[in-house]
Amino acid sequence: MKKRTEYCGLITEAYIGQEITIKGWINRRRDLGGLIFIHLRDREGIMQVVFNQEKNAELFALAESMRHEYIIEVTGKVVLREEDQVNPNIGTGTIELEVTEAAILAKAKTPPFT
């Protein structure tokens, strides 16, 4: 386990290009084939993290096993989202984390409702 460098909701565009480590609960997960997007939630907010199969197949396989409410730790580089990918519904909607390391800290049973 690594030490958290920042809370999800406190990451801003000032972090672009930096490597950070965040931890939290999986709030939302979207699998788009070669990309998996996860909204990671902690006490300060939500940050989108991206697993890319072309960049790291082993990490992508780990991400495929991740489910809603799992607690995970991810390390990666903060990057600016493309203009058409900006999410105005979350405070960190202009940036995302390209994952280079990940670990499942705790698994959760599927909730009866979301």
> Of 4, 16, 86, 94, which is closest to residue 43 (Cα–Cα)?
4
Give me the percent of the chain exceeding a pLDDT of 90.
Answer: 84
Let me know if domain 8-106 sits in CATH 3.30.230.10: no
Read off the pLDDT of residues 55-71 as tens digits, 9 standing for 90 and up: 999 999 999 999 999 99
Which sequence spans correspond to the domains of the chain?
A: 8-106
Q: Would you state the pLDDT for residue 114?
A: 65
Decide: 70 and 107 in contact? Cβ < 8 Å: yes
Decide: 39 and 48 in contact? Cβ < 8 Å: yes
Q: What is the dihedral of CA 7, 8, 10, 14, to 10 degrees?
A: 110
CA distance 32 to 43: 27
Q: Would you state the pLDDT for residue 66?
A: 96
45: pLDDT confidence band, cut at 50, 70 and 90? very high
